[in-house]
Chains A and B, each alone.
Chain A
Amino acid sequence: MTTTDELSAEEHHVGDATDLDVGDHLLVEVNDIEIAVYCTKDGYFALANYCVHQGGPLCEGPVTGSLTNDGDGSLCYDDENQVVRCPWHNWEFDVETGEHLSRPQYNQPTYEVRERDGELYVRW
């Protein structure tokens, strides 16, 4: 979620906001933890690059939408650029919330992202 609050000592600069269009992501390392910063239509979001399933490199997986149904029995494709798929087992996580799409008890660690003067900071 983007804010323009003052930076604190716990914030780590990770990149330039103009480098990320909607659907793009940036893989960085903060305090020896691999984190990916995603850009969606709602702003910037960060997830740990370590799948809660079996430790796979989640954020090396593609960012896509997902097949679902519209409630009236028809299939539809939704959440474009909102879903990251683990390249090991195809576990799907919402990049904004870290929540698994079908097993909500599984959540990826998320980190707050702040934008200030066009630069991105992960809040630790």
Chain B
Amino acid sequence: MSAQSVNRFQEIERVVDLDFHLVEEESALVPYLEEPFEEMMTRPGVGEGNNYNETKFLLDGIDGDMGPDVAASPDDVKTVMSELNIDRVTLNPGLNLNLVTVTNDRYAVALASAYNEWVTETMLDSSQDMYGTIRLCPRDPARAVEEIERWADADEVVGAMLGPPGFRSPLGNPRFDPVYEALEEAGLPLLLHNSVLSLQHVFPGQFDGFNTFMEARAFGHPSGQMMHLTRLLVNGIPERFPDLDIVMMESGLGWIPYMTRRLDYYYSSRREDAPWLTQPPSEYISRNFYFTTQPIEGTDDPSYVQQIIEWIGPDSLMFASDYPHSDFDFTDALYRALRDGFDQDAIDAIYGGNASDVLAY
């Protein structure tokens, strides 16, 4: 491993952002809807309306109340990439983070498919280093498989996204096995991104009664990932689908070494609960799981950040900005916490090297 240090942010070899959010409107997806939904959504009397039942928190900063300017077009994205010193971007849904709040299951599935067509046609451009994920809808695993197969060979599609909320039965349930198989076959990683505006309406449902955006964000993000990490491991997914990479997003850092060790602890006495595993959970986490860094907690104590990353391992982390959400990390915020504790190889890996290995470029 190189002992060379990175003295300036500009020395990082390539910066890849795993999480740059679009701001799509439902009306933009209507022309891409399959029938009969396109017919229904365009008939007289049907407004442009919003069929997503996102939670509205008091002063939650969504819809432009807070946060930097949104990027609504490919040119906007290029401008922000330049301002944030990002070399390559992964464009992820905005509104469709909350796909699971759409009440009608069939319409939700149709919206996912429409989003995938819209984003690949209008926003993604591999020649401009603007890549993206397709959105899968957990309501219909068979249709999710179809979407994966449909977009598997698209250059600009580098992964497939699901979210922790809204599964009705969490990942690990056998009904999702065909999805893992299809992803493995396609060489696409699974990206798990929470949506805090969904949590009060859908599984897991315990968030009914959460009053504030702070509650939803501080607890909702990591708790959702902890739930699915536990379920995926105990139900043997990384053993049964060893070539599937899973990226867990937007939950910070500290929970990762904790859950890794906690799962190993219980595996010691509850091996029969996880009969598919042949190794401790930590081995699978190291091999198959990746974590995006934003929002980095504890940056006022770089020693905390450095220790956590030592425990997780720099090879398991990938930089993400979460632009334009109001807890986004400016590109060099992570670097300032890393530079005194990690050498160039590690910093390059976190900022772009790992992404180049994991995402389907």
Contacts and interface: CB of A to CB of B under 8 A. Distances in A.
Is the A/B pair a real complex? yes
Interface of A: 54-56, 85, 87-90, 105-106
The 4 closest A-B pairs by CB, nearest first: A54-B330, A54-B333, A90-B66, A88-B68
A87 B330 contact: no
A89 B333 contact: no
A106 to B, nearest CB: 8
B330 A55 contact: yes
A54 B329 contact: yes
B326 interface: yes
B330 A90 contact: no
A100 to B, nearest CB: 11
A88 B67 contact: yes
Interface string B67-95: 11000000000000000000000000000
B333 A87 contact: no
Contact of B326 (A90, A105, A106): A90
11 contacts: A54-B330, A55-B330, A56-B68, A87-B67, A87-B68, A88-B326, A88-B328, A89-B66, A89-B326, A90-B61, A90-B66
B327 interface: yes
Interface in B324-341: 326-330, 333
Nearest to A61: B66
B200 to A, nearest CB: 21
B300 A105 contact: yes
Contacts of B300: 105-106
Contacts of A56: 68, 330
A70 B327 CA distance: 28
Contacts of B333: 54
Nearest to B65: A90
B198 to A, nearest CB: 22
A103 to B, nearest CB: 8
Q: How large is the interface on B (under 10, 10 to 19, 20 to 34, 35 or more residues)?
A: 10 to 19
Interface string B36-67: 00000000000000000000000001000011
Contacts of A55: 330
A89 B217 CA distance: 13
A106 B300 CA distance: 9
B84 to A, nearest CB: 11
Nearest to A67: B59
Interface string B122-156: 00000000000000000000000000000000000
Contacts of B326: 88-90
A113 to B, nearest CB: 28
A64 B158 CA distance: 43
Contacts of B68: 56, 87-88
Nearest to A90: B66
Nearest to A105: B300
A89 B300 CA distance: 16
Contacts of B327: 89
Nearest to A103: B300
Contacts of A87: 66-68
A1 B138 CA distance: 59
B58 to A, nearest CB: 9
Contacts of A89: 66-67, 326-328
A106 B299 CA distance: 12
Contacts of A90: 61, 66, 326
Q: Most B CB atoms within 10 A — which of A55, A88, A105?
A: A88
Contacts of B329: 54
A91 B330 CA distance: 14
A98 B57 CA distance: 28
